[in-house]
């Protein structure tokens, strides 16, 4: 059985690392890894492959960044050529990026069955490109691996056949369990930055809805600058966000207030997350990682796909519309109690990858 795995961005590298390890140990499965190149520099790509011990991709398509249509179109063309050459039994896609959508569309056009890891998530904000990618991929897929009961319910409400939907848990939780100890052993990021546990806020910002909107960008970073007067704010700066700050003339002032660092690898990110007093982010993956390490989180958006974390009190939503509101919301979260205790099975109890591989091995030839 041959499976082509398609990845292209940081969160997908983490998820694929956990699943690929199980695939490689299965005697009857051959995995072919395709990296679209959506994240392509050393800090956003290469270091993750090294730290997570992901095999070198069989194909590196080198697509790079571009507008959504152009990038997705180039991915479609390149992925189609790989699929025609390899003739896989399954194509495995992850999450909600342009790489995900391109892999799904290229596959179904060639009548190759698609499995979607992290299916069923919904923000219900169709202005987010990620939301469109999720919905289209789910409706194209033959197997949908849902991380939560809420995700299962979303798929059911959209009329997707029940036999396609499987509640398996979250592969990022599997990865967090696998790599937490390794991060403690290998990472020196706290010493390098002179940080001590519970004495800083970790911030990550990269979504287009925040970086491409001048007023939101201003409110967000002015608010974070106010917060930094009370506690250090550490910001691994995404290339998109760096460009936006330069465009808006904010870069110099922000660098005086926040502790700006280059993007970090997965193990360093784990250590920064585990030891933060609070995490503030617009990333879906970082919201969950905060919870995995039981660190309170403020999500700088009006909605989230991970609604259960808001309901349980571990996450709170804070749209960055006003700098004063951003600052007061984050400072209030700093003083609040942690969220409620939750069962370890919330995100699958670390068994998501095993279930995914088992379901794939049982469904060879489906949809062909």
Q: What is the full per-residue pLDDT of the chain (368 aa) written as tens digits? A: 999 999 998 889 889 999 999 998 898 899 999 999 876 555 556 777 788 888 889 999 988 777 889 999 999 999 999 999 999 999 999 999 999 999 999 999 999 999 999 999 999 999 889 999 999 999 999 999 999 999 999 999 999 999 999 999 999 999 998 888 899 999 999 999 999 999 999 999 999 899 999 999 999 999 999 999 999 999 999 988 999 999 999 999 899 999 999 999 899 999 999 999 999 999 988 999 999 999 999 999 999 999 999 999 999 999 999 999 999 999 999 998 778 888 778 899 999 999 999 999 988 655 43
- State the pLDDT at residue 365: 54
The pLDDT tens digits for 20-65 are: 999 988 988 999 999 998 765 555 567 777 888 888 899 999 887 7
- State the pLDDT at residue 368: 38
User: Residues with Cβ < 8 Å from 90, sequence gap 6 or more?
Assistant: 1, 2, 3, 4, 112, 113, 114, 115, 360, 363, 364
The pLDDT tens digits for 153-171 are: 999 999 999 999 999 999 9
Place of tokens 């969950």: 288
Q: Tell me which residues are annotated as active site.
A: 206
- State the pLDDT at residue 367: 45
Question: What whole-number percentage of the chain has pLDDT above 90?
Answer: 79
Count the Cβ atoms, other than its own, within 10 Å of residue 156.
14
- State the pLDDT at residue 41: 58
């Amino acid at each position: 059985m041959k499976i082509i795995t398609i990845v292209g961005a940081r969160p997908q590298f983490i998820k694929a690392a956990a699943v690929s390890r199980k695939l490689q140990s299965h005697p009857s499965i051959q995995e072919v890894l395709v990296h679209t190149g959506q994240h392509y520099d050393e800090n956003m790509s290469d270091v993750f492959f090294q730290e997570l011990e992901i095999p070198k991709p069989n194909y590196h398509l080198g697509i790079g960044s571009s507008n959504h249509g152009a990038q997705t179109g180039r991915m479609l063309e390149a992925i189609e050529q790989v699929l025609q050459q390899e003739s896989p039994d399954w194509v495995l896609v992850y999450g909600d990026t342009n790489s995900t959508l391109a892999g799904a569309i290229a596959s179904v056009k060639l009548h190759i069955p698609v499995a979607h890891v992290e299916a069923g998530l919904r923000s219900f904000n169709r202005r987010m490109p990620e939301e469109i990618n999720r919905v289209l991929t789910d409706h194209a897929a033959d197997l949908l691996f849902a991380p939560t009961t809420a995700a299962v319910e979303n798929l059911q409400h959209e009329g997707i056949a029940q036999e396609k939907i499987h509640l398996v848990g979250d592969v990022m939780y599997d990865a967090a369990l696998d790599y937490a100890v390794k991060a403690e052993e290998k990472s020196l990021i706290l010493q390098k930055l002179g940080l001590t546990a519970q004495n800083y806020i970790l911030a990550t910002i990269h979504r287009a809805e925040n970086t491409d909107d001048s007023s939101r960008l201003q409110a967000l970073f002015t608010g974070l600058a106010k917060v930094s007067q009370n506690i250090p704010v550490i910001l691994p700066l995404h290339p998109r966000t760096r460009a936006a700050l330069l465009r808006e003339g904010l870069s110099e002032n922000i660098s005086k207030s926040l502790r700006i660092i280059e993007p970090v690898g997965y193990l360093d990110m784990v250590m920064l997350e585990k030891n933060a007093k609070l995490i503030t982010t617009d990333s879906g993956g970082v919201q969950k990682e905060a919870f995995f390490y039981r660190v309170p989180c403020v999500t700088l958006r009006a909605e989230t796909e991970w609604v259960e974390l808001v309901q349980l009190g571990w996450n709170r939503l804070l749209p960055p519309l006003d700098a004063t509101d951003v600052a007061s919301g984050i400072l209030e979260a700093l003083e609040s109690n942690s969220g409620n205790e939750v069962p370890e099975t919330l995100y699958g109890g670390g068994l998501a990858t095993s279930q995914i591989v088992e379901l794939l091995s049982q469904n060879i030839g489906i949809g062909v």
